Structure 1
Amino acid sequence: MNRSRAALEPYPMTDSARAVFRRLSSVGPTTRPVLSQQLNLSRPTMSAAMAELASHGLVLSNGESRGHTGRSAALYSLAPEAGHVLVVELGASRVRVESHSLDFTLIASAEQRLSSYRRTVTPSMVTKAAQLIDEVVASTGFGHGPLRDVVIVTPTLPSELHAPGRRPEGVGQLAEAFELPPEVPYLVENNVNCAALAEHRAGAALGVENFLYLQVGVKIGAGIVIKGELHAGAHGAAGEVALLPFPWSPGTPPRRLALEHYLGSDELMKRCRSRWSDSSQPVPRTAAALYELAAGGHPLAGELVAEHAENVGMLAAAVISIVDPEVVVLGGGVGQNELMLREVRATAARLAWDTDIRTGALGNRASIVGAVHLAVARTLTRLA
């Protein structure tokens, strides 16, 4: 079969084969007895499903597993022919590219840290990403089946749901700039949405049906999960908390993105520099350095961090009052710092109501992990 067409065409599958294929994608190598129990399939049905998948070259036997009785059973996993996905992250501090098999196994990766924080996608970031894509594609080679899907993660609105004029300049041309194969589906997705998806599938909100992911770093944003699904909104802009009116008081009209400017790490460090009075300690140059000093007991650093945490708690109270989530997960370069948690919880409880607020579990990998889950889900929808 032509490899490019294989990326687009679904396989004819029975319901049982489809269920086995999806299960192997989510849990990795597994034995037939375990699959039969998990999917409530009889032995003959399981055998037929495996034979069906093997005929398409989608599964293979890979080693054995020994049970409590001492008997061994063959382990089955997705075959390389099942294919792989490519994810590209254009973040504030790094550009990263990874390829993964459909059972989420990392195949190849490449990363470039940026010399300074970027608030938007720049031409130099796109150029660097294109170079990293070439590296990862070369490292992936031809032994992992066809490329099935590409997800590009950026600080922008999704490509499938967006309002005209709201996407940063140049994002619409990313696929063309990367010279992606025209037959392979791709999606440009918001980085905060991807991080929320990751925390729901594999992180701090695993198993939580309704939660809010609140990112605080160079920029701010929120990802909303309702009944286990990302809530995009009418224009794909749900969770754009940076657009909340701020400041909002008599004689002080709100400015667009003023809240993001105030809560972003750049403004935090500007306040730090203006108030720093410790002649024995140089002014910290980054938010990470400031938080490290605060963790070490530096009084002024601790005061600045506590104030910032209270401000983030006010934002959390605002979104809690609208969404009423079971859980709020804090992420981002600043938000995920453990020093934030206590004050954010206290402020949110004082201004709204007591809500389970947690620190994200995936750190700076949240967005790209979410992109992998999204790419695999899109592939499974088409293939099975």
Structure 2
Amino acid sequence: MISDGKDNGAVRTAGNTKYLRAMNSVAIRNIIASDGPLSRKQLAARTGLTAAAVTGITAMLIRRGVLIEAGLSAPAGGRPAILLNIAPKVATVLAASIQKGSINSALFDIHGNILSRRFSTFGASSPEDAVDTVSRQAGQMLQESGMEPADLAVASFATAGLVNPYTGVVKRSTNLGWRDEPIAEKLKAALKVPVLVENNSNAAALAEMAEGAGRGSKNLVYLSVSAGIGAGIILDGRIYSGSHGYAGEVGHTPAVPSGGALCSCGRRGCLEAEYSAGAISAKLAVDDLEGLMDGPLSGEPDVLRVMGEASEAIGRTVAVLMSLYDPEVVVIGGEIASVGGTFLDDVTRSAKSHCLGELADRLDIRGSGLLKDTPMVGARLIALGRLLNMQEWKKD
């Protein structure tokens, strides 16, 4: 978040007047987007620009429909000041999580407020099905919010699998059955806006750091256990994607020495095949895991055995992630985060037993603070990052 006049992007040195004005316009816009509403006096203090320069730039942004006057500040011994904020319908973001058989999406304004949302199932999980579902959801939400397609500024998607965020290609998603899918290109053609695509665990990790259980940390690992298992890694406040965008694919590491359940990747005994939420549900013949360890089945021998094995295996995985990345916080998310009982404590005990003492002493495992919306919230934050780096928004 921008907080002072030194690192907020404002330019105060001599140079091309048109360029300086454009850069300062972006800086003021972004400060208001991050921290608004703000007065012109506050903007001058934040940027170090003169009052006259701020007045001129904000007047231009108001004429272009980017800013609005949004009431008065509370009096503090002087005259109340006019507050400026980003105009409604400017820089609207579509964010969505594409999972096996379902899409969870929402329209957000620049401040992260949900304007409309949809949850849909989609049949064969083909890329075409996903694009059609997203397009339909977007149209419904825009209409519901009194907007036109031209009001949408950017769209961002979190999805399962090996996702290259630099190219927008899903190299492989065993849960969705996709290979070498240029999904960003297809979504861009349908929505007519810039499209970003990220792995769902990476997006969720960003969301937990910014707004969830990991708030305040800069180094975090998010371990999702749902239909699949994957890790999102945040290092120094940024997603660590690896050289091709595939970092964190722990679900396809071996959980048993040999044999084991057949995995969707074609091998046997993968962590995902043995201890994903779907695999655990199948072993216990239950529909889902929510509240399992707080309910009437919690004391059943089979439940205790399977959940004990799962907590041990997931704890071992956490220990490996701790040894590799030394995070401040490990967040457990996905369906497993809602199982209840002592499950997270059991995972913590397992992880500590497999860590070096120095790592075990400071191990901090937390349940997700955002649960089912986590990947979608992360997608929204990724879109916000793109917006703040855009020279112009649609109404600039």
TM-score by length of 2: 0.78
After superposition, residues 288-367 of structure 1 pair within 5 angstroms as 288=290, 290-293=292-295, 298-300=299-301, 301-302=303-304, 304-335=306-337, 337-339=339-341, 340-352=343-355, 353-354=359-360, 355-367=363-375
Shift of 1:265: 1.3
Q: CA distance change for structure 1 residues 250 and 101 in 2, over 3 Å: closer, same or farther?
A: closer
Count, aligned residues: 359
What residue in structure 1 maps to residue 8 of structure 2? Answer: none
CA distance in 2, matches of 1:188, 1:122: 13
Conserved? CA contact 1:217–1:334, under 8 Å: yes
1:375 is the counterpart of 2:383: yes
What residue in structure 2 maps to residue 264 of structure 1? Answer: 276
Conserved? CA contact 2:142–2:149, under 8 Å: no
What residue in structure 1 maps to residue 172 of structure 2? Answer: 166
Conserved? CA contact 1:329–1:358, under 8 Å: yes
The amino acid of 2:299's aligned partner reads: H
Shift of 1:181: 4.2
Conserved? CA contact 1:162–1:235, under 8 Å: no
What residue in structure 2 maps to residue 285 of structure 1? Answer: 287
- Identical counterparts, % of pairs: 26
Q: CA distance change for structure 1 residues 258 and 330 in 2, over 3 Å: closer, same or farther?
A: same
Structure 2 unmatched ranges of 5 or more: 1-18
Q: CA distance change for structure 1 residues 14 and 174 in 2, over 3 Å: closer, same or farther?
A: closer
CA distance in 2, matches of 1:210, 1:158: 22
Q: Deviations over 1:7-40 (max 9, x none)?
A: xxxx984444322211221234233444445555
CA distance in 2, matches of 1:363, 1:138: 28
Name the stretch that deviates more: 129-138 or 147-156.
129-138
Shift of 1:351: 0.7
- Three-state SS of the structure 2 residue aligned to 1:334 is helix
What residue in structure 1 maps to residue 39 of structure 2? Answer: 31
The amino acid of 1:151's aligned partner reads: S
CA distance in 1, matches of 2:237, 2:182: 29
The amino acid of 1:335's aligned partner reads: A
Q: Deviations over 1:153-190 (max 9, x none)?
A: 211313525888535248425653685244x2112221
After superposition, residues 1-384 of structure 1 pair within 5 angstroms as 13-39=21-47, 43-69=51-77, 71-80=79-88, 82-92=90-100, 94-112=102-120, 124-142=129-147, 146-156=151-161, 157-161=163-167, 165-167=171-173, 168-169=178-179, 171-173=181-183, 175-176=185-186, 179-182=189-192, 184-248=193-257, 255=267, 258-273=270-285, 284-288=286-290, 290-293=292-295, 298-300=299-301, 301-302=303-304, 304-335=306-337, 337-339=339-341, 340-352=343-355, 353-354=359-360, 355-383=363-391
Q: CA RMSD in A?
A: 3.4
CA distance in 1, matches of 2:368, 2:333: 5
Q: CA distance change for structure 1 residues 322 and 162 in 2, over 3 Å: closer, same or farther?
A: farther
Q: Deviations over 1:119-163 (max 9, x none)?
A: x65765554333222212322444796322111221131352588
Structure 1 unmatched ranges of 5 or more: 1-10, 274-283
Name the stretch that deviates more: 246-255 or 262-271.
246-255
Conserved? CA contact 1:337–1:359, under 8 Å: no
Shift of 1:338: 4.9
Shift of 1:239: 0.8
Name the stretch that deviates more: 316-325 or 306-315.
306-315
Conserved? CA contact 1:199–1:360, under 8 Å: yes
CA distance in 1, matches of 2:147, 2:351: 51
